[in-house]
Structures are given as structure tokens and as C-alpha cells.
Structure 1
Amino acid sequence: MSAWDSWRRALLAMTAASALTTAGGQALAAGPAAPYLQRKPQDEVIYFVLPDRFANGDKANDRGGLPGGPLTTGFDPARAGFYHGGDLKGLTARLDYIQGLGATAVWLAPIFRNKAVQGAPGHESAAHHGYWITDFTEVDPHFGTRADFKAFVDAAHARGMKVYMDIVANHTADVIRYRECPANDCAYRGKADYPYVRRGGVEGAAINDGFDGKDFGKLKRPDHAYTPYVPAGEEGVKKPAWLNDPIYYHNRGDSTFAGESSLLGDFAGLDDLFTENPRVVQGFIEIYGQWIDDFGIDGYRIDTARHVNPEFWQAFIPAMTARARARGIENFHIFGEVFDTDVAALARHTRVDRFPAVLDFATQSAITDLVAGKTGTDRLARVFAGDVLYEGGAETALQLPTFLGNHDMGRFGHFVLTANPGISDAELLDRVTLGHALMMFSRGVPTIYYGDEQGFTGDGGYADAREDMFASEVAAYNDNRLVGTRATTATDSFRTDGPLYRRIADMARIRAAHPALRSGRQVLRAQSDKPGLLAFSRLTDGAEYLVVYNTGATPITANVEVETTSRAWRSVRGDCAGAASAPGGYRVEVGPLDYMICVSEGLQ
């Protein structure tokens, strides 16, 4: 057994034991699990929200308690890249709206204290998104307080809703500077040219600390590639305090997102943590374990997961599940962000890193292609065929959060508009609706990006896809063409009678009422190399649900293979009046850009 394995086992044992007490040392009482705790990850419908862009419940915290103008406080509601005022109190007050949509879990973008403003002069933006963390133990004052977060979690749990936190272990805010590049534009320096045992490259002077990249007890200096320093006034800005020491960072310059730099480089200048170091691993287990202890949250979405070494996750993930289990949270959902549309690349992180699930970028890409009308339905069928690659196969695929767009890549409505210039309002609504139906009834955990239910489209990725739900002051948001409505984002966007809100809510009700549509075994029944027919069954011991889509612009009539020989089919959605045309076959008729769901009780 390696020294790493021995340390990891000891740490896991310690974590499991410490999880039985609160921060104050009191034992956690065991009791019957609340009904929401009994739901498995695949039973949820997730609503992903950026708190800053949702609802402003307390205008007193808009500037985060900071003095000065936007370049200090980060608050400027007229600029897309700055804080706009949304907070935890506002989110709590709008739980009715979220639950009415059919969401059962809320995933929040990071709420930890951030460095409010970053960027070169003239190119500054603010940490409205939450990914520039300085203090991992506190709530950012722009969003409220720990008491506000507890009130939100308690209110969600009282409704039977779960809360997923978005967390980061790859990097912190950009604080560390390198003396060799005062403009803070440091090119990546790799281990081959700048090994740990030498300073200044292969021709440089030797460093006589004996560190070989593995024995961290001999690591004395953090400057094998660059000479790091912390600017005056920021020496203690990070918490816990150990995060202020540059020795816990790679300090190799900006990642190129290729080769070793993907793991060791600074992500767009953000300070890249030395996650190979056992002190860093233990530190983050302590940090994020405490949030579970203090608030009883139900899961973690992990940012930039692919940019951290596998050994870190192999220790961190079981420690978090053990911590949650000790608190009675048996179905703690952990899913990593692996921004890749290749199924094999996604699956690798469930096998090597041991992630229970990853965000399903492959399905997102395929659904976008199908709904745009540019590819055959076999495009999505090939993604589903790759489910066998995940550790645990189809069972793991049930837990993959599926989605149509997000805060980084952009909104689904924008993708459809871009692919179909001149599209009519009616067709746009039908195509966007069909995308949600493809997500909602296929395997995986449907994840709705806030505002999609109001027809938000955005102008692209990142800040261009982070519109305000409250009346926006951003001109570039307010001139967007929305889906299914003539409204704009210049007014509040919390209507529950809009076409997309109602259609998504109807889908969520169907999914909630029929367990097979959440956890049933998925079997492909029909596909095509052109836009048109896609069909699959969701099977349980007692029923077969046939889900049929038409991604084409003309009606479809076809015979679809089924497992059920009974003629007793009934409609869940659409017209299921067709009769079995032959043993093992079922005749379906589906209109353009539409779908149907039929069920046959009692497999024969």
C-alpha cells in the first residue's frame, strides 16, 4: 500500500468519525429520514440559479457592505458583468415560483465570499457568478449572511425540496502575483522545463529542499516555475488562513487547457491550488464537510472538476458522502463539471476520478443538434448507446444531470435561434418545448437553467446568458427576442401563465406521477439518420412507457417495436389510440415537432 493510500484511508476514517458531531462538538441525533431525503438523485428535477440574477430581497446588501463605486463594490445593475442585487432572501421568497414549475431541487451558483472585482484596468468585471472565492467559510455579503442561507435551506426542506451547493476546489480568486511578469500575463511553464527540483528552468540553480513532486514534507518553496508573492494588503484575504500561503499553489502561469497545464495551470489567471498536497485535500474536506454539518445540504455540483488530479477526488468524494450519511443524508448527489461532449471523456471521470455523476454535456450537444433540425435522431441514440462506458453503466447514467444550456455556454433558446434564422414565433416555441421534452423524459436528471421557463435567449455565453429575473437595467438583455412571449426582461419575469412555464410544469408533473419516467430502464426503439422519428421505452417490472418524438417538420406515422404484447395502451401525453399492429409492434402518429407518451400496464 502506498503512502498516499495509507493517508487517504486514515483521513476517511477520521472524516467519518468527525461527521458524527457538529461544529460545537455536540452529537448529531439520529432519527427517521424526512421524505425528501428518501428520494434518489434521479427522482429530482433541478433548477439551477445564479442568486445575483434572481430576486432582490434586501437592497441593503447590494454593494456587499463595501464603500465606493462599481470598481470597488462590484455593483452596477446596468452592466452585464457586475452584481445586480439578487440575494438569498429574494430566492427564499420565490420558492413558490420554483416549486410551481415542478422543480424539486435548487442548485445555487457559489455563494461563498468572493473577490468583488477582478480584471485588467478597463476590462474589470465582478464576481456576480461566485467563482472567485476568497473565503470558503462565509457567505458573500452581496448575497446575505449564513443566517440567510440557513433560512433558505430550511424553507426549501420544509417544502420537500433539496438544496445543491456549487463548490470549487481547483482554484481561488486571483490574488497571487509572479515577480517575473508584473503585467500578470504569465505563460505556462511546464515541469519538463521547470522541474520542482530546480529554479529558473533546467539550466537554473538547484533547489536543495529535496522535493520531488511527491514527498510534500520536503516542499519548502513554492517558486519552481515563477516567484510568487501576495500583494500588500491581501496577505490575509483568504480563509481558512492556510490558503494564504503560496506554497499550496502550483504557480506555473496560465493554463493552455492542454496537457499537464490543464491540471497545473492557473484557470484564466485564478490561483491554481496544489491539489496533490495532502494538506490541501484535508483542508477542503474540512471546509466542505462543515457546510454539510452546519446546513444539511443535499448535494454538491463541483466546478472545473476535470482540472483537478484524480487522487484528490478519490479522497474527497467518499469523504463527502460519508459526512452526509452520518447526518442522515443517504442520497447526497455529487456531480462534476466536465466540459466535454465526448461520452468517453465524461465516463472516464466516473471510472478514474470516481465521480458518482457528471454533468451530461454529451446529451446537451445532441439535443441541441436534434432540435435545431440539422441532424438525424441517431445523433442522440449514439449518446445513449455510450451509457455502458460509465462506471456502473446504465444505473449511473440515470444520475447524470441533463441540461439544455447554462451560465457559461449560453441558453438553449439562443442556440435554436442561431441555427434557424428567420424562424417564426410558433416554430421557435415548438422547438424549444421539444428540447425540454427530450430532456425531461429520457434517462438522467433534468436540470432547468433559471429563466429558460420565461423564454430567455441571451446573446451568447457567460454574462450574455445571465439575465435578471427582476426588472433588468441591462440594455443588451432587454432587447432580446424571447420564446413564447412579447414581453422583455425590462419587467419582472415571474409569470406562471406563460407558455413555456406551463409546458415545463406539465412535463414535470408527468415525470413525478410516473416513476418509470425517472428510473425505468431505457431501451431505444426507433431512430433515423434524418430529422424525424425517435422512440424509446422506459421499462419497470410492471409497465412499459413508450416515448415517441418527431423532430421533423412533417407528421409521422410508423410502427414502433415494443416489448408489450398487450393491446391495452393508454395515453399519458398525446393521442395513444393506435392499436398493436403486430405482436411486438405499436402504431404511432406524431405531429411535427411534437411528442407522445403511451403506457401499457402489465408486461406480457
Structure 2
Amino acid sequence: MTTTDIKWWQKAVVYQVYPRSFQDSNGDGIGDLKGIENRLDYIQELGADVIWLNPIYQSPDKDNGYDISDYDAINPDFGTMADFDSLLAAAHARGIKIVMDLVVNHSSDQHQWFIESRSGKDNPKRDFYIWRDPIDGHEPNNWSSFFSGSAWKYDEASGQYYLHLFVDGQPDLNWENEELREQVYQMMNRWVDKGIDGFRMDVISMISKPDGLPDAPLPEGNTYAIPVSLTANGPRVHDYLKEMRQKVLDNGDLMTVGETSGVDIENARKYAGVDGSELNMVFQFEHMGLDDNDNPALGKWNNQPVSLLKLKENLSKWQTELEGNSWNSLYWDNHDQPRIVSRFGNDSSEYRVVSAKMLATLLHFMQGTPYIYQGEELGMTNAYNLGWDDFDDVEIINGRDFVVNREKLADDATMLDYVHYKGRDNARTPMHWTAGPNAGFTTGQPWLKLNDNFPEINVEESLADPNSVFHHYQKLIRFRHEMPIITTGHYELLDPNDDQVYAYKRIGDEEELLIINNFTAEPVQRNYDFPANADLLISNYHDDQGTKLRPYESKVYHYHP
């Protein structure tokens, strides 16, 4: 890739906003669109180019907005369509683009399509969803919902089951139905016509189900099996996305990113190929699963830190094998992941700031489009003060029931420890704006309990401190905008068997970057080969001690070899 080939979204930095937890403007304890608009200057000061909005559509909120009952209406909790239009105009006035979450693997069971589909087998919209007869009085197959239990819900009126890979209020859409696909494309075009700048596509790799819906491999002792290997990258998914490209995505200079559970390199090259026939980039999850439990029955629920060797191997694989073929998304945090400084860093008072900066540096000098989840730029941590009565997330609630009550895989205290390490509500606690009441998020009662460390970790404190995590992210964003080598340079991993330091190079035609990251709380010695007159571009310490790396030290050298 040369500098003339760079697309706008390849140099962009995306800031993810979880509307419910970002900023409340009316005192009801729920973040809203006016609140986001009121904080656009903050996002602009950070330097982000794009806002990815989690779902703001009409929804009964069985899965915090990912169960949509009307794709063309705004959830009243967040405001009105006029509020959205105002937000879009205000963002565009600041040079910030808006990317919407697109959730079309499933809808809400309260969507008009499903209401009609459920009304009878002869209804024209019956085939908009996936209905099957019982087999020997049981579910059509052994698939599990991703939120525990069967992926099938029995409908007494019709005597059939419908498929829901997530909660039972999220019936899966049947993409085999051409009319359903056309309805989805028309809806997308209405948002494009409104002026939005792209789509983040939720679990888009699952829209094509395998022929015959066969049983999934069943872990020993389990009744149901999570069918990722069968439902991801299905037989017609690439055909559907090519059709979507022709019907919708070519109607504007849009940014598109697919959440592609179960994706491998081969499919990533198809989803986000340089030919531009499908999407711009994908989210892959391999590095997010490296700290899953060794017991497959427990899945993600674990409290053991990631192996640096595994992390290096995985991130390097995606850097090298997508180069020249497709495009990476770079992320640590999002609404479905715990806080990265608590997970891969060290959230103690001594090392939180330096380890948060180290993790940011490691990621932001790689090739790809970086995503920053709200509060990540402050070094926000997991919320250890939340107990069982405080959690809102359906995955946590169902996970506890499965692990503790049904399968007896862990006791309550151990499961709580797992949730404090891996639970999604760690990222969904409200944004910390000030050290004042409710962290400046709301004048009312927050919808989810605040992390109790907001008096020390908040925007007001971060903006005032030139050495804060915020200002480190600000510098990283500026480098990406100003230095083409970060976009175009070749990636080269150094010392793959070093289990303490993650070091790599970015290599351009006439310049190089050396990125060094100590992943431990211990001082270590490392000597890398680079010119003596190299410039120290950025560091998370105030001085450079050469070959000595202090705890979680991170530094980047720029030089001409």
C-alpha cells in the first residue's frame, strides 16, 4: 500500500459510544442523544474522526438495544428522531462522522415482522424467520443460545419452534427469504439517505445458516452446544454481503465493519478484501478468547490472565496475513468486553496509568483502524464494587444460572470473581465526567451502578493532567493522522518467544518505527538494534533509560535506517 492508496477510514480513529452510559441530559438516569451532542467537543478534543453508536432504535431492551422492534424509530429512552438529526448535523459540523450499529441477524420478537410471522403458518411473513417442527417432541437440534439454554423457543399456537441464537426475544431472521433481504436493504438505504456515514454490522457472519441446521458438536456433559462453528461464515454469507454492497453500500462513501464471530483468515480476506466487494474491515475475536477457561463448559468465564506469547502470536498473525489482502480493526475494549487495563494490564493505583498507556501504544502503532471505547482513554477499570444485585446484563444473569445453579461448575463466589474479570457490565457502567455526584453522568439515579473509583478516574481530572492516559491517546491519534507509515508500513514481530516484552517494527520505504512494550510489573533489560540518533517518538515514562525497561514501560523510536 502507498500513501496515495489510503482510504479515509484507514487513517481514521473511531470512538465508540454506548449511549445508555455516556451522558444523560434529562435526569432520568439513562444516557441519551442530547447528552452525546453535548459532549461532542470532548470527542473532537480527543481527536477521533468517527463515532460508532451502539443501537439507538426502538427496542424492549431485552439485550440493551440489540433486540430491535422498529429500525426506523428512536428508542424514547434516548430521545427522538429530531434529536438524532441534530446530533448528526452537530457531529458533521465538527468533521466527525457517525457510524450506526446494524442488527439484522435477528430482530425483537416485538417487531411487526415477527408479530405477523407468529400469527400463523400461512402468513406471508412466516418465512421471514426460521421456524421448524419438533423432532420426537424436542427441539429441532441441539443448538444453544449464546446466552445459555436452548436456541429454540416453542410456540404453542403453531406447534413449531423458532430459532434465537441469543435471548428468546431475539428471533433470527431468515436471510434465505429474498423479500426479507429487500426489506433490510430498503431500511439501510433510508439511513444512508439521512446522511449517516456507515454501519457496524452486528454478528453479520451468522446471517447464513447451514443447510439442514445439523447438530453441533456437543461438549461432554452438556445438553446443548453453542454452534459457532456451524452458524458463522455460512454457505451464502458472502453472496448476501455482495448483494448488500450492490443494493446499499455503493450508494455512498460509507465505512463498513462487520462483527464476524468465528472468522478465520480465509473468510476475513473475503469479508474485507481489497476488491471492496463486501465490507471495509472486520472485527475478529481470537485475541478476546485467549483468556477463556480451559474447561469448554465454562467458555469465557475465567479469571486467569492472558499469555503474552499467545497474544503476540495471534495479533501478529492478523497483522501479517491480512497485509495487502484486507484490513484490520484494532480494538481492546468494547461494550461486550471488560476493561482492558484490568484484563491485560494492571489496574492497581501504582501501575494503572502506565499500563493503560502501554496497551494503547501497542495497539495504535499496528496496521488497521483503531477503535476506542468510551472511558478507555481515561484508563477506566473493571467495576469490582458491583455485586449480584447490581448487574443488568442478560449474559451475566443467565451465565450465573447456568454455571452455578444448573451445571454446578463453580460456586457463587468463584462465578462473581469470573464476572468481575470478564463480565460485560464492567464496560457498561456510566462514563466518568467529574468527581462530583454520579460522576457528572446524571442528576438522577444511574441506570447501572457507577464504578466507585470515579473520584480518581474522570474526564475533568484527565484533561487537567498533561500526563494522563487521555493525553497519551490524543498523541497516538495525532501520530496516526500525521505519519503514513503507521497506515502503510510492514509489520515485523521481534523476539516471538519473549514472554515479558512485546516488541515489533513498522517498516516503510525510507523510515522505520520500533515499538517496545514491557508487559510485566518487573524491570527488564532488552537491547534492540536501531540507530543511536533515533528519535524517541512517545513513551509512558518521562525519561529514556536505554536498555532498561521499567514496569509496563512502552516507547516508540522513529528513525531512518
The normalised TM-score by structure 1 is: 0.64
The one of 500, 524, 528 equivalent to 1:560 is 528
1:394 aligns with 2:323: yes
Structure 2 counterparts to residues 280-295 of structure 1, below 5 A: 280-295=180-195
1:114 aligned partner, one-letter code: S
Structure 2 counterparts to residues 290-309 of structure 1, below 5 A: 290-295=190-195, 297-309=196-208
The one of 101, 125, 130 equivalent to 1:250 is 130
2:207 & 2:348 partners in 1: Cα distance? Answer: 44
8 Å contact kept, 2:205–2:263:
no
1:549 aligns with 2:517: yes
Higher RCO, Cα 8 Å, sep 6+: 2
| Residue equivalent to 1:11 | none
Structure 2 counterparts to residues 379-528 of structure 1, below 5 A: 379-387=310-318, 393-395=322-324, 399-415=327-343, 424-454=348-378, 455-459=380-384, 460=420, 461-469=423-431, 470-471=441-442, 473-474=445-446, 477-478=449-450, 480-481=452-453, 486=456, 496-497=463-464, 499-528=468-497
The one of 43, 46, 49 equivalent to 1:101 is 46
1:266 & 1:525 partners in 2: Cα distance? Answer: 41
Structure 2 counterparts to residues 123-142 of structure 1, below 5 A: 129-142=64-77
8 Å contact kept, 1:456–1:467:
no
Deviation of 1:551 (Å): 1.4
- Deviations, residues 493-530 of structure 1 (Å, cap 9, x unaligned): 78523522222223222333322123322122333342
| Residue equivalent to 1:88 | 33
1:448 aligned partner, one-letter code: I
| Residue equivalent to 1:530 | 499
Deviation of 1:479 (Å): 5.1
| Residue equivalent to 1:150 | 85
1:468 aligned partner, one-letter code: P
1:175 & 1:594 partners in 2: Cα distance? Answer: 51
1:495 & 1:595 partners in 2: Cα distance? Answer: 20
Structure 2 counterparts to residues 166-245 of structure 1, below 5 A: 166-175=101-110, 228-229=118-119, 245=125
8 Å contact kept, 1:534–1:549:
yes
1:163 aligns with 2:163: no
Percent identity over the alignment? 24
Gaps of 5+ in 2: 1-5, 133-138, 153-161, 209-233, 294-302, 385-419, 432-440
Structure 2 counterparts to residues 13-162 of structure 1, below 5 A: 39-58=7-26, 77=29, 84=30, 86-115=31-60, 118=62, 129-162=64-97
2:488 & 2:243 partners in 1: Cα distance? Answer: 24
8 Å contact kept, 1:458–1:464:
yes
Deviation of 1:172 (Å): 0.8
- Deviations, residues 365-397 of structure 1 (Å, cap 9, x unaligned): 56999xx9956643233114423896xx21356
Deviation of 1:561 (Å): 4.9
1:551 & 1:595 partners in 2: Cα distance? Answer: 9
1:446 & 1:293 partners in 2: Cα distance? Answer: 27
Gaps of 5+ in 1: 1-37, 63-76, 78-83, 119-126, 178-220, 223-227, 231-241, 580-586
How many positions carry a matched residue from both structures?
442
Q: What's the Cα RMSD here?
A: 4.0
Deviation of 1:356 (Å): 3.7
Bigger-Rg structure (1/2): 1
2:485 & 2:45 partners in 1: Cα distance? Answer: 22
8 Å contact kept, 2:13–2:369:
yes
